[in-house]
Structure formats: structure tokens, C-alpha cells
Amino acid sequence: MTLHQRIYADLERRILSGDLSPGDRIPFEHQLTDAYGCSRMTVSKAISELAGRGLVTRRRRAGTFVAQPKAHAAVLAIPDLQAEVAARGQTYGYALLNQTEREPRDADEAELAAGGRLLDLTCLHRADGAPLALERRLIALKAAPQAASVDFQRLAPGSWLLTAETWTEAENRISAIEADVAAARLLGLKAGAACLCVERRTWKDGQGVTRVWQTFPGDRYDLVARFSPGHTKDIRI
């Protein structure tokens, strides 16, 4: 764990445990700099990540405060597509279309890579022989170095990550999109057909592990979540 990740994790733990309550001001940056014996930039990076996760809000000239909790429309776990397809009584199929190890290409990818390289994978999931999802996934090899030696021709990356890599935080973003020509061809659709895109990011103690985009034909996928105020009870596709 780098120093900024340690600062992030320490503050996150205090917030989630209730030691710091909504509205409380976290220590000033100069106080954290003295406490951890680091630069102002290191502290600022940790606080920026907390702000990006919605845990704190920065107020000019006033400091940084623990954010008020927000209500979300749904609570979603991370599904294993192979297990979900099997649970519906269908035959699961999988094909790896492309795999490349490379350097990050932009700021978002550089943040995920955290100074390391990325494994860039494209694959297709099927249910009873029909295309179910086109997946494009980035794995940070610094967070999951063993991914470089996994045979993803045989094993779907999402299934492997769920069993091999623990995660402490995840974010789902769901949107309606139109299939471009390449996606439509692989999914057996007409270009411009309605699709559901699920974008997911996972972190482990503040360090990015993976980012994935899964594109589903609109008539073959839906999300059903049963949840209570404390936890999700059931999710199916």
C-alpha cells in the first residue's frame, strides 16, 4: 500500500465506522501532512479519492467534511454471468476475442493502472448459443499481477476475479445505448439496436482492480434487485 492509499484507507475506516460522522470536518491537510510525514500533494491525492467516492465534500476556505449519505435507486451485487446463466437452466458459452497487455492510454486508465500495466480483454458471453453480452475489461496488473498468467481462453475474467481477487468497493453505472456496427455484429443485432450497458469498477483498499463494460441486447437482459435498507437479498438476470 502506498502512503496516499494508507491515508485514504485510514480516513475511509474512520468514516465508515462512525468515528467521523456526516458533517464532521476531517483533519486539515497540513495536519495530515505532519501526522504522516508526507507531502501536501500525497494528502491531497488521498482526499481527492475520498471526494470522488462521495465520502467527503471539500469547501473552499472551510476544509473537508464527511458527506451526508445519499440514497441510491438500486443496490446491485457483482454477478457471475456463468453462474447466472446456469441458474436459469441455460447452457453458458464463452469466447475470448482479444487479449492485450499494454500501457495506459489516458488519465482514467493511468489512475486504474497506478503505475503498472493493464490487461485489455474483449470477450463474448452466450446463453443457449445466443449472444448474451459483449464484454470489454481492463485489469490493473499492479493490483492483480497473477492475471497475466491466467488462461482466459478457458476462463472468463469476471468469474476468475470473483474467486481470485477480493474487493472492498464497487461502483455500477447502468445506461441505455445503441449498438455500434461492431457490437451489433457480435451480438447478432442490427446497428443502432437498443442495448443495456453495465459499467463496473472495483477497488481494493483504494487501489483500482478492474473496470468493465458489458453490453447486453435490450430484449435479453434485465436487472431485478430485491433489497432492504441494510443489504441486497437477490439479484438475477
Mean of all residue pLDDT scores within the chain: 86
The class (CATH top level) of 3-66 is: mainly alpha
Percent of the residues in the chain that have a pLDDT greater than 90, as a whole number:
56
**Residue 70 pLDDT more than 60?**
no
Task: Over range 11-30, report the average pLDDT.
Answer: 89
Give pLDDT, residue 170. Answer: 87
In order of 93, 140, 142, 160, the CA distances from 164 in angstroms are 21, 14, 14, 6
Alpha-carbon distance 97 to 122, whole Å?
5
Residues whose CB is less than 8 angstroms from the CB of residue 213 and which lie 6 or more positions away in sequence, other chains included? 135, 136, 137, 197, 198, 199
* Grid cell at residue 26: 476531517
Most confident of 69-78, 85-94, 122-131: 122-131
Residue whose cell numbers read 441455460: 90
Domain residue extents for the chain: 3-66, 81-236
Does the predicted model carry a pTM greater than 0.85?
A: no
Alpha-carbon distance 6 to 105, whole Å?
26
Instruction: Report how far apart the first and last C-alpha atoms of the chain are (Å, whole number).
Output: 36
Q: How confident is the model at residue 223 (pLDDT cuts 50, 70, 90)?
A: low
CATH code reported for the domain at 81-236? 3.40.1410.10
Task: Over range 185-202, report the average pLDDT.
Answer: 92
DSSP state of 25: B
Q: Comparing 211 with 81, which gets the higher pLDDT?
A: 211
Give 98-147 pLDDT, tens digit per residue: 999 999 999 999 999 999 999 999 999 998 888 999 999 999 999 999 99
In order of 21, 59, 154, the CA distances from 67 in angstroms are 8, 11, 44
